[in-house]
Copies of this chain bind each other. A is one copy, B any other.
Amino acid sequence: MRYGFSQRVRYMKSSAVRDILKVVNQGNVISFAGGLPDESLFPVEAIRQAFDKAITSGNKVLQYGETEGVRELRERLSVRMAQKGLYRKSEDILVTSGSQQAIDLFAKIMFNPGDIILTENPTYLAALQVFDSYETTIVPVDSDEDGMIEEDLEDKINRLKPKCIYVVPTYSNPGGKVWSLERRKKLLELAQKYHVVIFEDDPYGDIQFDNQVSPPSIASMDNNQFVMYTSTFSKTVVPAMRIGWIVGPHQIIRLMAQAKQATDLHTNSISQHALIHLLDDFDLDGHIQIIRKTYLGRMEVMRDILDSVKSDQLSYQIPKGGMFFWVNMPSYVNTTDLLATAVKEGVAYVPGAPFYVSNPQENTMRLNFTNAPPDQIKIGMERLVTVINEKQFESIG
Of listed A3, A12, A35, A36, residue having the most chain B CB within 10 A: A3
Chain B residues with Cβ below 8 Å from A226 are 1
Does chain B have a CB within 8 A of A145?
no
Q: Do A64 and B51 touch (CB < 8 A)?
A: no
Q: Do A4 and B163 touch (CB < 8 A)?
A: yes
Stretch at the interface among A53-61, A146-154, A345-353: A53-61
8 Å CB contacts to B: which residues of A253-288?
A: 255, 258-259, 261-271
Q: Do B240 and A268 touch (CB < 8 A)?
A: yes
**Given A48-B52, A62-B47, A242–B264 Cβ distance below 8 Å?**
yes
**Given A39-B63, A44-B56, A52-B48, A264–B6 Cβ distance below 8 Å?**
no
Q: Do A239 and B62 touch (CB < 8 A)?
A: yes
**Given A6-B109, A44-B56, A262–B126 Cβ distance below 8 Å?**
yes
Give the Cβ gap from A49 to chain B, nearest Cβ, in Å: 9
Does chain B have a CB within 8 A of A170?
no
**Given A34-B64, A271-B268, A100–B262 Cβ distance below 8 Å?**
yes
Q: Do A242 and B263 touch (CB < 8 A)?
A: no
Chain B residues with Cβ below 8 Å from A262 are 12, 100, 104, 126, 129-130, 133
Chain B residues with Cβ below 8 Å from A3 are 110, 197, 249, 251-252
Q: Do A255 and B12 touch (CB < 8 A)?
A: yes
Interface set of A (CB-CB < 8 Å, partner B): 1-9, 12, 14, 34-37, 39-40, 42, 44, 47-48, 51-52, 55-56, 59-65, 96-98, 100-101, 104, 108-112, 115, 126, 129-130, 133-134, 163, 195, 197, 225-226, 234, 238-242, 249, 251-252, 255, 258-259, 261-271
Please name 29 pairs of A and B residues whose Cβ atoms are closer than 8 Å in the assembled complex, sorted by A. Answer: A1-B195, A3-B252, A4-B163, A5-B109, A6-B109, A12-B109, A12-B258, A14-B258, A35-B64, A36-B63, A40-B59, A44-B56, A47-B55, A47-B62, A48-B55, A62-B239, A64-B240, A97-B268, A98-B265, A104-B263, A104-B264, A126-B262, A133-B262, A241-B270, A242-B267, A242-B268, A263-B263, A268-B268, A271-B271
